[in-house]
């Protein structure tokens, strides 16, 4: 059994207002249907969450969080649970829920929902909690509070717990809010979307269906991986996401990412070539998300491909600076300067490199250029040695490092254009 299947899960579902049943003699006041879930037909139910929990024969879901408004069908939930598996007389609680809703007594309603928790927990055999999380409507004004409340129900800091989100019932805007909450939760707890499932019950008189929308969850995971790569040039998550379907491409991407992270500039051409040779595996299809990934990776390869190692590292420095990674950008820019000073050749020692760069600095005619060149290498050394642990002139601070980079970048660009 896979690790994903062994996770205990929290299911978050919403409770809508519901639709009146045309057959009042049935005793259930909201329309019922039978959902086909993975080839099995559920018992008649007005609530998709009930069908899904019955389908969860392995009982991986052990917590259920039900959210709704003061007008949600709380009493109908109680009626459904009692008719399906009576555990005690629900009449008094049913009346109390109806009266609290009729009188708009929110505090009373919340108190009675605690009793409803007990009925539903006994019926479904899981820990159940009911929450009034929004008023009569979802508006831009109350969205932030709703997202915050939803996050309190998500297992953000339980990495061994899955999350199942049911978007069947409730306001039509609620699925958007729940997905927004999931994206925010991913920010607080990276990896949340990888252990999240989205389920939906499609009602139809001709035959209702229950779906697990794994593509949405997979795309959220892909979005996180792409975001990390685009923001930092770290392809760890992206390679993990691609590995099951494109192992060779994932390996080439990870090697290039390691080259970036470890500043192995002399390996750039080799790693770029390896990635370029694997891009065909994505088979660009205008109707596939992989086409967008193919375009992004091909663009990166084009930006960094150059026979001149100095120009190549200079381009990498620009990519780093565009992401405001000025420490890494200065590192790359200084190495581009080394490549310029050494004519692209590899020297035998750091002392030889220093002699070459010092000689190159002295060959610059403009005094300001010589000062910028010196500042670039001093800044590079400060970054390498922890900023303040080596006594040097205060070449840069967190306030001016981008200005120092821009001056140095302009100098290196001019030198490259002159063919130095």
- Encode pLDDT of 39-80 as tens digits: 899 988 888 999 999 999 889 999 999 998 888 889 888 888
Check whether residue 321 and residue 258 sit in a common domain.
no
Check whether residue 299 and residue 313 sit in a common domain.
no
Q: Hunting for tokens 């339980």 — which residue is that?
A: 158
Check whether residue 333 and residue 278 sit in a common domain.
no
**How many whole angstroms separate alpha carbon 319 and alpha carbon 229?**
12
Q: Round to the nearest angstrom and report the end-to-end CA distance of the chain.
A: 61
Inside any domain, residue 241: yes
pLDDT value at residue 419: 66
Check whether residue 288 and residue 329 sit in a common domain.
no
Is the pLDDT score of 418 beyond 80? Answer: yes
Check whether residue 291 and residue 394 sit in a common domain.
no
Q: Residue 202 — pLDDT band, cuts 50, 70, 90?
A: confident
Q: For 108-146, write each residue's pLDDT tens digit.
A: 999 999 999 998 998 999 999 999 987 767 777 778 888
Check whether residue 43 and residue 108 sit in a common domain.
yes
Domain C-terminal end among 182, 212, 242: 212
Q: For 260-274, write each residue's pLDDT tens digit.
A: 988 898 899 999 999
Strand pairing category for 208-212 and 196-202? antiparallel
Check whether residue 291 and residue 322 sit in a common domain.
no
Is the pLDDT score of 396 beyond 80? Answer: no
pLDDT value at residue 136: 65
Domain C-terminal end among 288, 304, 320: 304
Inside any domain, residue 12: yes
> How many domains, the chain?
3
Q: Among 332, 337, 310, 311, which Cα is nearest to 320's?
A: 332
pLDDT value at residue 19: 55
Inside any domain, residue 364: yes
Three-state DSSP string of the chain:
CCHHHHCEEEEEEECCCCCECCCHHHCCCECCECEEECCEECCCECCHHHHHHHHCCCCCEEEEEEEECCCCCHHHHHHHHHHHCCCCCCHHHHHHHHHHHHCCCHHHHHHHHHHHHHHHHHHHCCEEEEEECCCCCCCCCCHHHHHHHHHCCCCCCCCCEEEEEECCCCCCCHHHHHHHHHHHHHHHCCCHHHHEEEEEEECCCCCEEEEECHHHHHHHHHHHHHHHHHHHCCCHHHHHHHCCCCHHHHHHHHHHHHHHHCCCHHHHHHHHHHHHHHHHHHCCCCCCHHHHHHHHHHHHHHHHCCCCHHHHHHHHHHHHHHCCCHHHHHHHHHHHHHHHHCCCCCCCCHHHHHHHHHHHHHHCCCHHHHHHHHHHHHHHHHHHCCCCCCCCCCCCCCCCHHHHHHHHHHHHHHHHHHCC
**How many whole angstroms separate alpha carbon 219 and alpha carbon 343?**
46
Check whether residue 135 and residue 31 sit in a common domain.
yes
Inside any domain, residue 283: yes
Strand pairing category for 40-41 and 35-37? antiparallel
Q: Residue 180 — pLDDT band, cuts 50, 70, 90?
A: confident
Inside any domain, residue 267: yes
Read off the pLDDT of each residue in 228-234 and give the average, rounded to a whole number: 91
**How many whole angstroms separate alpha carbon 328 and alpha carbon 332?**
6
pLDDT value at residue 4: 42
Give me the domain span that covers residue 324.
Answer: 309-418
Check whether residue 59 and residue 201 sit in a common domain.
yes
Specify whether the CB–CB gap between 305 and 312 falls below 8 A: yes
pLDDT value at residue 171: 66
Q: Within a 13 Å sphere around the CA of 226, how many CA atoms are in the beta-carbon half? A: 14
pLDDT value at residue 186: 87
Read off the pLDDT of each residue in 6-30 and give the average, rounded to a whole number: 68
Inside any domain, residue 156: yes
Could you tell me the two tokens for 382? 């400060």
Inside any domain, residue 223: no
Q: Residue 275 — pLDDT band, cuts 50, 70, 90?
A: very high
Specify whether the CB–CB gap between 55 and 120 falls below 8 A: no
Check whether residue 201 and residue 261 sit in a common domain.
no
Read off the pLDDT of each residue in 293-298 and give the average, rounded to a whole number: 90
pLDDT value at residue 387: 56
Check whether residue 17 and residue 157 sit in a common domain.
yes
Check whether residue 272 and residue 366 sit in a common domain.
no
Inside any domain, residue 217: no
């Amino acid at each position: 059994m896979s690790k994903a299947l062994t996770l205990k899960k929290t299911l978050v579902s919403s409770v809508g207002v519901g639709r009146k049943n045309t057959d009042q003699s049935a005793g259930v006041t909201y329309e019922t249907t039978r959902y086909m879930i993975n080839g099995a037909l559920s018992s008649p139910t007005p609530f998709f969450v009930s069908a899904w929990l019955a389908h969860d024969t392995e009982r991986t879901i052990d917590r259920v969080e039900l959210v709704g408004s003061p007008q949600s069908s709380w009493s109908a939930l109680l009626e459904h649970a009692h008719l399906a598996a009576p555990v005690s007389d629900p009449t008094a609680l049913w009346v109390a829920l109806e009266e609290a809703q009729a009188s708009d007594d929110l505090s009373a309603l919340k108190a009675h929902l605690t009793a409803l928790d007990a009925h539903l927990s006994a019926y479904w055999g899981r820990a159940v909690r009911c929450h009034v999380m929004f008023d009569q409507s979802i508006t831009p004004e109350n969205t932030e509070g709703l997202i915050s409340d939803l996050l309190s129900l998500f297992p953000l800091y339980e990495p061994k717990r899955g999350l199942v989100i049911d978007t069947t019932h409730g306001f039509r805007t609620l699925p958007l809010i729940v997905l927004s909450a999931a994206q925010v939760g991913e920010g607080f707890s990276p990896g949340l979307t990888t252990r999240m499932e989205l389920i939906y019950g499609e009602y139809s008189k001709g035959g209702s269906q229950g779906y697990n929308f794994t593509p949405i969850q997979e795309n959220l995971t892909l979005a996180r991986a792409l975001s990390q790569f685009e923001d930092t040039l770290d392809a760890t998550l992206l390679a993990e996401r691609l590995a099951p379907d494109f192992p060779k491409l994932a390996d080439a991407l990870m090697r290039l990412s390691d080259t970036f992270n470890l500043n192995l500039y002399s390996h750039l051409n080799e790693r770029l070539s390896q990635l370029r040779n694997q891009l065909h595996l994505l088979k660009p299809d205008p109707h596939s998300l992989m086409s967008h990934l193919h375009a992004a990776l091909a663009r990166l390869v084009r930006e960094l491909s150059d026979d001149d190692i100095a120009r190549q590292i200079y381009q990498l420095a620009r990519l780093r600076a565009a992401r405001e990674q000025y420490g890494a950008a200065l590192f790359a820019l200084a190495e581009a300067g080394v490549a310029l000073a050494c004519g692209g050749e590899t020297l035998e020692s750091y002392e030889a490199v220093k002699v070459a760069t010092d000689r190159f600095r002295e060959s610059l005619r403009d005094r300001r250029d010589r000062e910028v060149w010196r500042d670039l290498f001093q800044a590079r050394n400060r970054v390498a040695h922890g900023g303040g642990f080596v006594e040097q002139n205060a070449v840069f601070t967190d306030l001016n490092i981008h200005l120092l980079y821009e001056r140095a970048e302009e100098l290196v660009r001019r030198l490259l254009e002159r063919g130095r």
